[in-house]
């Protein structure tokens, strides 16, 4: 993609019981099936990595939206939960994003959450393919 402003590089070996590394060395993780799926749980997994990436990206979008709307977020955080769901033929994922922004009133927080969901690159990538539930704590 010639218009990319950044390209991440990762190399995986062995699938869910392997390793994953980024080309710059900042990510170097052992992968393992979680205990709930019969694994030893002694490593991260694709769902955790996706939850981490999505929540960080979404907070960036939230900050952008808040600045553009003249809203001061104050202390805030986002919890992401990514489910691996068995369906009729294989698997799919579902996502829940919960905004913690105690200095905002609920209406403002809900609007920012919806607006950030419209601009976040992860939200755009999953739209129409992954159910994403938004919630204000």
- Span 47-85, pLDDT tens digits: 999 999 999 999 999 999 999 999 999 999 999 999 999
Measure the CA–CA gap between 104 and 106, rounded to whole angstroms. 6
pLDDT of residue 134: 98
Confidence category of residue 126, pLDDT binned at 50, 70, 90: very high
- pLDDT reading at 34 higher than 70: yes
- pLDDT reading at 129 higher than 80: yes
- pLDDT reading at 2 higher than 80: no
pLDDT of residue 38: 94
Contact criterion met (CB below 8 Å) for 21 and 28: yes
- pLDDT reading at 19 higher than 90: yes
pLDDT of residue 1: 61
Query: Residue 96: CA atoms inside 13 Å, Cβ hemisphere, count?
Result: 8
């Amino acid at each position: 993609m010639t218009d990319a402003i950044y390209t991440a590089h990762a190399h995986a070996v062995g699938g869910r019981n392997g390793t994953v590394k980024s080309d710059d060395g900042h990510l170097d993780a052992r992968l393992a099936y979680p205990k709930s799926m019969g694994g030893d749980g002694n490593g991260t997994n694709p769902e955790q990595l996706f939850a981490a990436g999505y929540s960080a990206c979404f907070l960036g979008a939230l900050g952008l939206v808040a600045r553009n709307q003249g809203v001061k977020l104050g202390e805030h955080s986002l919890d992401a939960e990514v489910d691996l769901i068995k369906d009729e033929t294989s698997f799919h994922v579902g996502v829940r994003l919960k905004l913690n922004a105690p200095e905002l009133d609920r209406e403002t927080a809900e609007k920012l959450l919806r607006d950030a969901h419209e601009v976040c690159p992860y939200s755009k990538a999953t739209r129409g393919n992954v159910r994403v539930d938004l919630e204000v704590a």
